[in-house]
Amino acid sequence: MRILFVCLGNICRSPTAEGVLRHKLGEAGLGEDVDVESAGTGGWHVGHPPDERAQSAAAARGIALESRAQRFEAFHFEDFDLIVAMDRQNLADMRAIAPHAAAEGKLRLLREFDPLAVEAGDLEVPDPYYGGSRGFEDVLDMVERACDGLIAEIRSAMTAGG
């Protein structure tokens, strides 16, 4: 299975989700079963490592962020099984270049995998780029909860698929 996380710049939220999910998949013994990448709908940071603030917040939780930014392109709809957006603007920007309905069907919001966020109707991961370090901790908290739910879904999909 191949999963792509998508935000705007691909240096804060989606690299955090990529690093957190890969870390948790390893802990769950699923590291060989799922490939994880991230991308941004904007191209300003292509080739750059994650924002230093995102890296140090993740490192404090024992999680390495090792991606290099890439821009989201239409071909990603073919390369990935599940494409997970951080906010509704990311979703809208990807829908605008989706080649067909099956491609749109691969799109989700990250916090749809967090039952408490669904219950609260609070489904976006806010952009931390222009704020302080607290925003990066909040992103990590949201991403960790949603990735736990995502791993539970991956497990049940794998069980159902044999």
Query: Annotated catalytic sites, by residue?
Result: 7, 13, 127
CB of 54 to ligand 4NP, least distance (A): 8
Q: Which two tokens stand for residue 21?
A: 């999910």
Which residues, 6+ apart, have CB-to-CB distance to 45 below 8 Å? 9, 10, 11, 69
Q: Give the nearer residue to ligand 4NP in terms of CB position, either 19 or 154.
A: 19
Q: Give the nearer residue to ligand 4NP in terms of CB position, either 127 or 144.
A: 127
Q: Which of 10, 18, 19, 135 touches ligand 4NP (CB under 6 A)?
A: 10
CB of 30 to ligand 4NP, least distance (A): 25
Q: Minimal CA–CA distance to 11: which of 129, 161, 142?
A: 129
Residues touching ligand 4NP, count (CB under 6 A): 11
d(CA 12, CA 25): 20
- CA distances to 30, 70, 84, 141, 155 from 43, rounded to whole Å, are 31, 7, 18, 26, 33
Q: Give the nearer residue to ligand 4NP in terms of CB position, either 13 or 76.
A: 13
Residues near ligand 4NP (CB under 6 A) are: 7-13, 40, 44, 127, 129
